[in-house]
Amino acid sequence: MSDATSDMQVTAASDVEVDRAALDKSIKDFAGPNGDYYVRVFHKIHDATGAFPWTFNIAAALLGPIWAASRAIWGMFWAFLILEIIAWVQIGRGLWGDLGADFLDRAAQQRERMQERLDQAAAAADEETRQRFETLAGNMQRAIEQNIERAEAAQAEAAGILITGVILLVAFKLMQGVYANILYEKQYSHWRIDPDHVESGRYTPNLVLGCGLTAAIAPLIIYKFTVSNSLSLLNEFPERRVSEIFLGEGGGTLFGAVASWMEDRIDAAATAGSDVFDGIVSGVRTVLDGLTLALNGSPWPVVMLVVAVTAYRAAGPRVAIFTVAAMAYTALLGYWALAMETVALVGSAVLLCVIIGIPLGIWFGKSNRAYRMAEPVLDLMQTLPAFVYLIPIIAFFGTGNPPGILATIIFGMPPVIRLTALGMRGVPESIKEAAVAFGASKWQLLKDVELPLALPSIMTGVNQTILMCLSMVVIISLIGGGGLGQEILEALQFAAKGPGLLGGFAILFLAMVMDRIVQGAFKRADQT
Amino acid sequence: MNDPVVKLENVWKIFGDRSSEAMQAVLDDGLTKPEVLEKYKCVVGVQGASFEVARGEIFCIMGLSGSGKSTLVRHVNRLIEPTAGKIEILGQDVSSLSDRDLRRIRAQQIGMVFQHMALLPHRSVRDNVAYPLEIRKMPKSKRWAVSDHVLGLVDLTGYEDRLPRELSGGMQQRVGIARALASDPEILLMDEPFSALDPLIRLQLQDQFKALVAQLRKTTLFITHDLDEAIRIGHRIAIMKDGVIVQIGTPEDIVMNPADEYVRDFVQGISKLKLVKAHSIIESMDSYPGSLDGAPRADESADLDALIDLAVGTDLPVVITQDGADIGIVSKPRLLRGLQGGKDERRNQ
């Protein structure tokens, strides 16, 4: 059609000429010094038809990690720095490492003690005592000989270690020589894509940095592993001495100072905000009491019937049968009241998670800034080990069931928040735009479009939250939470295998029943 | 009655954090689009667009992707706020509306159809169509009745209780059209409604849509990237390029007198048979020296197709009449040039 297309000649792939000139210039731009060498080896790599292009970079082999640093191939620098140090440590140990030193030391000590025994034998008053000491000394003598033998054997290994070290070093050098150009060519390919961010050429600061790192790391490590009685400073971080610098002599450790300062702060905060914290606890207790009353206050046959029918309606006959069996297990083993307490605990936690979590999720789904700020907090809530925040919870809220629920909420709420936000973000812009174009207000948009479309994701979040809350049941018994968790904790304390396992199964059944019923209900809701 | 239903006056849209600064710079120093991008990191979406759409008119906005046509049409119901300029619908300045009034106008006066249908997947076809009415808080019995009526207009009776995903693409888009018609709006905004459909369904829907709009007399802004579609549907066409409206005119205008090289490239492949009318290629009676006795006659509104039918039976030119009176002729060379889209004037001048 146009002139450009008519000028274009179609050529078979086999006839296409490789345009060396442009490529050469680009490679030279990339490589900087020694450009001609790299042009040659890159061509060799580019022209290679086999799986592995064989080239050998003498500079890389000789200089090792320092070459890699100068060419800014940092992955190669670190990998081979570590490998070469391993080789050098072996060489060092083989050459001047005092290999049998441990055994010789022991032998020397034993010799002293043998001498003591001999002296005691010489000084002994009666024949019996003398003989006893002489026997002891004889035993000692054998031990000494053994140790000396071992030391000699260890020293004999020195040659072997040295040879191993040398072989390793040569092998690593060869590997670097062979792989250097291949890795450098990869770097070149990256550089072509993103020349602003991929380093190219030989850059003196990189060379200095590489030399510096090598100089700082290699000698210390080799010294530490080679010399048997190296400086104690290198074995252990001198935290006491550092503490003395900050706090003066006899001022205790930094750890002690920071810990006691934090304790004071927490105590002060707990006292200052006691009204607020008491309010929160009583709010949680109200929810818990309501649920406990419903589950444990109602006659057990009523509760069982309601649960069984719910299971049947929500998830079908198979789950209903399983539910009945699980309830029979808990009831027959006398766990009924405890199980209901656990359900009340988990139920209140889940309820609060949902009530707080879904609005937060909606907010984070709509506001990017809020989500960015909340994300680290959510990560923290999920990754912080539960034992860590149990302590401040005790400080602020005391012990018992309500603080246990609060701890459960901290652990259980992130999924429902995250998945609500995810669901809100997943609502297609076009559908939202359509609703707005037809005059929907913000509330109508949320109610008619965003929430219904985000619902599957929100339900997944609620289900995950339920499971996370159940997994906290045992942990919160540490701060006085009741129910089945307490049973397990007691069994653990007395290593009571039978009760522990029975209680454990009760929790497992509880979790499975809750999960199945909730999932069944959600599936049903999805279909309508 | 002659007041335009939709009126845009010098509308500008600049996207970006520093759009108002950029706008000022454009007005003061006449910065071009790339300069604005470089200097203010702002993208110019629409540059000084002005047009009027009369009641009952189908006004097509044609342009390639990224030409700003979707952005432009979203100014009409203020889904996008203009950086500068004035937008009036039914004599009301859209920019000055309060949120409540804006929502009311969107719900009552403007129906919109989207390229990707944008139906609510969890609602039945009927409830989708009734959604604009639900927003207006119309009682359920009433809105269901309206919804069923409108679904009848787009031939979807019997599908009311289905979910959108159970319908084919063409049917889904008909639901979209029904939804736009449900609140009996004055204005229809069609954002590439048929682009995602396959060609045969597209042709059907175009015809169906044209008939429907003619019957209901809706003022329509129709966005498309397909000139054939624009010509087939539109009373007038605006051609957009890089945010600028390059030309506005009737399909015939655009095809016969393209404003610039860009439009000319577009119209080159368009069939002129049904599009070009006798009055656009008419010559004076004097240009034929001989006698016109026995020459075939055609009205000035006859298209090329009809003229060719007349011309093949005779050596004489076709005499063109207006209200029965002879006003000019069309010779065979002229007719052939007309088929090419009036090429002679261009090349021989």
Domains by residue range for chain B, with CATH: 53-82+97-267 (3.40.50.300), 278-348 (3.90.1280.20)
Residues in chain A whose beta carbon is closer than 8 A to a beta carbon of chain B?
Answer: 428, 430-431, 433-441, 444, 448-449, 452-453
Average of per-residue pLDDT values in chain A? 86
Establish if B346 touches chain A: CB-CB under 8 angstroms.
Answer: no
Inter-chain CB proximity B183 and A438 less than 8 Å: yes
pLDDT in tens, A128-159: 888 888 888 888 888 888 888 888 888 788 88
% of chain A surpassing 90 pLDDT:
30
pLDDT, greater one: A458 or B26: A458
Which pLDDT score is estimated for A425? 93
Interface contact B179, partner A, CB < 8 A:
yes
CB contact under 8 A, A448 and B120: yes
- Lowest average pLDDT, out of A66-75, A458-467, B157-166, goes to A66-75
B251 neighbors B237 (Cβ within 8 angstroms): yes
With 60 as the cut, is the pLDDT of residue A6 above it? no
Task: Tell me the shortest Cα–Cα distance from A430 to chain B, in angstroms.
Answer: 6
Residue A278 has pLDDT above 70, yes or no: yes
Q: Which two tokens stand for residue A159?
A: 């040659």
Name residue B265's amino acid.
Answer: D
Count of helices and strands (H, E) across chain B: 14, 13
pLDDT digits (tens, 9 = 90+) for B46-96: 888 899 999 889 999 998 888 888 899 999 989 998 888 899 988 888 888
pLDDT (mean) for B201-209:
87
pLDDT beyond 50 at A2: no
- How many residues are recorded in chain B? 349
**Using CA atoms, how far apart are residues B276 and B307, in angstroms rounded to an integer?**
10
| Per-residue pLDDT at A1 | 43
- List CB contacts of A467: < 8 A, sequence separation 6 or more: A511, A515
pLDDT of residue A67: 87
Q: In terms of pLDDT, which residue wins out, A92 or A77?
A: A77
User: Does the pLDDT value for residue B313 go beyond 70?
Assistant: yes
Yes or no, beta carbons of B106 and A438 under 8 Å apart: yes
- Taking the C-alpha atoms of B203, B209, B212 and B214 in order, what is their torsion angle to the nearest 10 degrees? -90
Which chain A positions have a beta carbon within 8 Å of B136's beta carbon? 439
pLDDT tens digits for A153-184? 887 888 888 889 899 999 999 998 888 888 88
Contact B79 A452 (CB under 8 A): no
Contacts of B173 in chain A (CB under 8 A): none
- The CA–CA distances, whole Å, from A292 to A288, A408, B92 equal 6, 17, 61
Q: What is the number of CB-based contacts under 8 A between chain A and chain B?
A: 61
Top pLDDT among A203 and A374 is at: A374
- The alpha carbon dihedral of A196, A197, A203, A205 has a sign of positive
Range scoring the smallest mean pLDDT among A113-127, A181-195, A395-409: A113-127
List the single residue in B77, B119, B134 with the smallest CB-CB distance to A437. Answer: B77
Torsional class of B295: left (φ above 0), alpha (ψ -120 to 50), beta (otherwise): beta
Cβ distance of A438 and B131 shorter than 8 Å: yes
Whether the CB-CB separation of A73 and A187 falls below 8 Å is answered with yes
A25-63 pLDDT, tens digit per residue, is 888 888 888 888 888 888 888 888 877 888 888 888 888
- More confidently predicted of A358 and B228: A358
Test A438 with B121 for CB contact under 8 angstroms. Answer: no
Separation of alpha carbons A368 and A353, rounded Å: 22
pLDDT value of position B343: 55
What is the average per-residue pLDDT within A197-226? 81
Contacts of A430 in chain B (CB under 8 A): 114-116, 118
pLDDT at res. B348: 42
pLDDT digits (tens, 9 = 90+) for A493-520: 998 889 999 999 999 999 899 888 888 8
Q: At residue A7, does pLDDT exceed 60?
A: no
The answer to whether the Cβ–Cβ distance between B116 and A430 falls below 8 Å is yes
Residue A312, pLDDT score? 92
Q: What is the pLDDT of residue A247?
A: 76
Separation of alpha carbons A147 and B258, rounded Å: 105
Nearest Cα of chain B lies from the Cα of A458 at a distance, in angstroms, of 15
Residue ranges of B 76-135 with Cβ closer than 8 A to chain A:
77, 79, 102-108, 110-112, 114-116, 118-122, 131-132, 134-135
In A, which residues are within 8 Å of B185 by CB distance?
none
Q: Are residues B233 and B60 in contact, defined by beta-carbon separation less than 8 angstroms?
A: yes
For residue B2, what pLDDT is reported?
63
As a whole number, mean pLDDT of residues A212-239 equals 75
**From the list A434, A440, A452, which residue is nearest B118 (CB)?**
A434
Highest mean pLDDT among A204-208, A253-257, B182-186: B182-186
Average model confidence (pLDDT) across chain B? 86
What pLDDT is stored for residue B66 in this prediction? 81
The reported pLDDT for the residue numbered A228 is: 60
Judged by CB atoms closer than 8 Å, whether chains meet at B132 and A439 is answered as yes
Q: Cβ separation of A435 and B122 shorter than 8 Å? A: no
CA–CA distance, B180 with B174 (Å, rounded to integer): 10
| pLDDT score for A61 | 86
pLDDT of residue A3: 47
Q: Which of A46-60, A224-238, A246-260, A360-374 has the highest mean pLDDT?
A: A360-374
Are A438 and B135 within 8 A, CB to CB? yes
pLDDT at site B349: 38
The region of weakest confidence among A191-205, A285-299, B109-123, B201-215 is A191-205
What ipTM goes with this model? 0.83
**Chain A hits for B118, Cβ within 8 Å:** 428, 430-431, 433-434
What is the token pair recorded at B1?
A: 């009655």
Count CB-CB contacts under 10 A for residue B242: 18
Which residue of chain B has the CA closest to A443? B135
| pLDDT for residue A239 is more than 50 | yes
Backbone angles phi, psi at B318, to 5 degrees: -90, 130
Mutate to test the interface with A, among B106, B124, B166, B172 (most CBs of A within 10 A): B106
pLDDT for the residue numbered A527:
61
Name every chain B residue with its beta carbon within 8 A of the beta carbon of A433. 79, 114, 118
> Exposed (0-12), middle (13-18) or buried (19+): which is B300, by Cβ within 10 Å?
middle
Please determine, for residue A232, whether its predicted confidence score (pLDDT) is greater than 80: no
State percent of chain B over pLDDT 70. 97
Give the pair of three-digit tokens for residue B315: 């050596």
Q: What confidence score (pLDDT) does residue A509 get?
A: 92
Do the chains contact at B103 and A441, CB–CB below 8 Å? yes
Cα gap A407→A390, rounded to integer Å:
7
Indicate the residue of B104, B106, B134 with minimum beta-carbon distance to A437: B106
Band (pLDDT 50/70/90 cuts) for residue A4 is very low
Q: Hey, are the CB atoms on B79 and A434 less than 8 Å from each other? A: no
Give the β-pairing of B325-330 and B318-322.
Answer: antiparallel
Do B135 and A444 lie within an 8 Å CB cutoff? yes
Record: contact A448-B136, CB cut-off 8 A: no
| The predicted structure's pLDDT at residue B346 | 47
Do residue B103 and residue A439 have CB atoms under 8 angstroms apart? Answer: yes
Q: For residues A77 and A184, is the Cβ–Cβ distance under 8 A?
A: no
pLDDT at residue A215 in the model: 85
Residues of chain A above pLDDT 70, percent: 94
Judged by CB atoms closer than 8 Å, whether chains meet at B179 and A437 is answered as no
Is pLDDT at A111 greater than 80 in this prediction? yes
Least-confidence region, from A72-86, A245-259, A489-503, B187-201: A245-259
Strand pairing partners for B46? B13
Give the pTM.
0.73
A452 contact residues in B (CB cutoff 8 A):
120, 122
Cα B106 off chain centre by: 20
Q: Per-residue confidence at A286, pLDDT binned at 50, 70, 90?
A: very high
